[in-house]
Amino acid sequence: MFSIIQAAGWPIWPLVACSILALALVIERFSSLKRPKIAPVKLLDEAITVSRSAVPSPDVVTKLEQNSLLGEVLASGFRAINVNPHISEDDLRSTLEGAGRQAAHELERYLAALATIASAAPLLGLLGTVIGMIEIFGSQAGAAGNSVGGNPAQLAQGISMALYNTAFGLMIAIPSLIFWRYFRARVDSYLLTMELAAERFVRHLNTLRK
């Protein structure tokens, strides 16, 4: 592997950094976007069950808030009613929507960086290719003015630099794009789940405060 990096020359180092960063982002997103951390299946039903007759105690609301991102959204509704028992339906809905936007921001964290790597890696590979071509033309220019002949080592080095950087850029960009699309679809699915849960929870809270 190190011999490949040496053959590719200095333009490959930004690509190596991108590959390490992309791998770290993928691992982090896989860890953070697990369903129990975002929207546990039975959480909404449990929140409705414990508040059939009244708003739960602050300790219960705090536990709900710490449970998951969906728990934070649901807890914001309980807190809004605790602060103002006569809160209007529009204000209550706005409170949950604000918490939902915060949750959406948390879900989308680092996705822009992963998409940037997927877009930039081929360009960095192209940069290395261009530099490799410059090396090739430089060796040919030297050969033109040399009666003995060109420099085969310099020519081979330029070709290696061009091909390795192109290949390495694509090897980083393709998986990054695939994982970005996968995480994007997963986030959209979670957002839909949380939106439907919040809508159902608002109706429950309206019934509760009446």
The tens digit of pLDDT for each residue in 41-53 reads 999 999 999 988 8
Exposed (0-12), middle (13-18) or buried (19+): which is 96, by Cβ within 10 Å? buried
Whether the predicted pLDDT of 35 surpasses 70: yes
Instruction: Report how far apart, in Å, the C-alpha atoms of 53 and of each of 116, 204, 205 are.
Output: 49, 11, 10
% the chain with pLDDT above 90: 59
Give the C-alpha separation, 162 to 49, whole Å. 64
Q: Which of 28, 175, 180, 65 is nearest to 114 (CA)?
A: 180
Averaged pLDDT, 57-67 = 92
pTM for this entry? 0.83
For residue 147, pLDDT over 50 is answered with no
pLDDT at 52: 87
Task: Parse the chain into domains and list their residue ranges.
Answer: 11-121+168-209
First to last CA, the chain: 68
164 within 8 A of 8, measured Cβ to Cβ: yes
Interior/surface letters 3-19, b for 16+ CB within 10 angstroms, e for the rest: eeeebbbebbebbeebb
pLDDT, greater one: 44 or 163: 44
Q: What is the mean pLDDT of the chain?
A: 86
Q: What is the mean pLDDT of residues 169-198?
A: 95
pLDDT band for 166, please (50, 70, 90 cuts): confident
pLDDT top residue among 22 and 144 = 22
The per-residue pLDDT for 26 is 97
Mean pLDDT of the region 64-83: 93
